[in-house]
Amino acid sequence: MSRIAQVFEGRDTPAFIAFTVAGDPDPALSVRIGKALIDAGADILELGIPFTDPVADGPVIQRADERALSSGTTPDTVFEIVRELRSYSDLPIVLLTYYNIVCRRGIERFYQDMHDSGADGVVIADMPVEESAAVLGHSRRYGIDQIFLVAETTGEDRLQSILRHAGGFIYLVSLLGVTGARESVSGSVPDLVRHVRRYTDLPLAVGFGISQPEHVRALASAGADAAITGSAIVGIIEEHLDDEAVMMQDLREYVGAMCAAGNEGR
């Protein structure tokens, strides 16, 4: 059983997936941030590979990408960060990237590097399932869960194709648009969860706009298996770039509150 599957095995409360950009604000501090998120109770760590054109991301994560790139972060750096975090914890690590990065590195090399560094899964944000054949064989060969995005606009044919090829969990997009903290969870989320659940036993993780404990409680009520939070975490990092001690304290408190909300159950 994969590390991701183990997180959801026998679980009756939503898992918490914490996202940050690898290398933000610099590689060494990024490792310490990852360790803080793990220690605070995150169930899965999602690391973004910084990219110059992150079309799925809002301004908070875009600025994090810029900071990481300015600090010299490359895919090689990201895999080294994964290695350091893997030596620290058995927590599942998922990478979020864009297809340009995968293609430029070489698809097989990218998947082998994920395997060798200790990553468990990958989301390629701009890769539709119709164009995924080139990566799926490598994901299976190297034991990497290929995670796909599903939105309320995803048609039935595409949904069925995604479910045939997906691993790890299904990433449900809670709203139309880019990432970023929102005031409330979209009212369409319960219907989306129920619709996708009809066709799969894979865990359903909801992201985009999830930023408050009440959002996690709403996802629990909707039957989601996990909440994914990124922009709110990256926002804390950005707010305290000049004070690491306060940054770490706020990250631990925030993640602790989000995890506690999930642990309240459905």
In the chain, where the domains are located: 3-263
Task: Select which of 12, 24, 26, 46 is catalytic.
Answer: 46
Task: Select which of 12, 26, 53, 57 is catalytic.
Answer: 57
This prediction has a pTM of 0.94
Confirm whether 57 is a catalytic residue. yes
Can you tell me the distance from the alpha carbon of 134 to that of 70, in angstroms, rounded to the nearest whole number? 31
Burial 169-184 (b: 16+ CB within 10 A, else e): bbbbbbbeebbbbbee
- CATH architecture of the domain 3-263 equals Alpha-Beta Barrel (3.20)
The phi, psi pair for 161, rounded to 5°, reads: -65, -45
Q: What tokens appear for 214 in the block?
A: 């009440």
Task: List the chain pLDDT tens, one digit each, 266 residues.
Answer: 899 999 999 999 999 999 999 999 999 999 999 999 999 999 999 999 999 988 878 899 999 999 999 999 999 999 999 999 999 999 999 999 999 999 999 999 999 999 999 999 999 999 999 999 999 999 999 999 999 999 999 999 999 999 999 999 999 997 654 454 555 565 688 999 999 999 999 999 999 889 999 999 999 999 999 999 999 999 999 999 999 999 999 999 999 999 999 887 55
- Give start and end residues of each alpha helix (H) in the chain: 3-8, 27-39, 59-70, 75-88, 99-105, 107-117, 133-141, 156-165, 189-197, 213-222, 231-239, 244-263
Please name which of 90, 95, 60 lies closest in space to residue 77, comparing C-alpha atoms. 95
